[in-house]
Amino acid sequence: MSSNVGNSQVYEDGDQKNVPRSEIEQEKKDKRFHEGKENSHKANDSKDQRSIANKLAREEKRENESDEESEETKALKKGPTLPAKMHGNKPSRGAEIDAEIQAEEEEELRRKGKA
């Protein structure tokens, strides 16, 4: 007895193909560093369970990176309110207080230098 239910094309496996295992392994290898959250692994964390191979690959990757600072870091060194102003935002109250303290300290140093 054969069933007359459904379309016979549904039961054909013409479009169902298995991906080779080697291709799956290669994809896993390629995605290894793209998983997880940013900065989720600490380099000096003793409880980090990354393999030695992953740690070595990370260090090789870090050697190729440049040590340049971001624009925000450079602006922060010039003045505490500059990063917010660069983005078109009002600086936080803490940044404003830091700017006041910095100005007072610079003025005091100038006075002491002239005295």
DSSP letters, the chain, are -----S-GGGG--TT--PPPHHHHHHHHHHTTTTSS-TT-S-TT-TT----HHHHHHHHHHHHHS--PPPHHHHHHHH-TTHHHHHTT-PPPHHHHHHHHHHHHHHHHHHHHHH-
Q: Is the pTM of this model over 0.75?
A: no
Tell me the per-residue pLDDT of 70-89, one tens digit each, with 9 for 90 and over: 777 778 788 888 888 888 89
Tell me the per-residue pLDDT of 13-63, one tens digit each, with 9 for 90 and over: 666 678 889 998 888 877 776 555 566 656 666 666 677 787 788 788 877
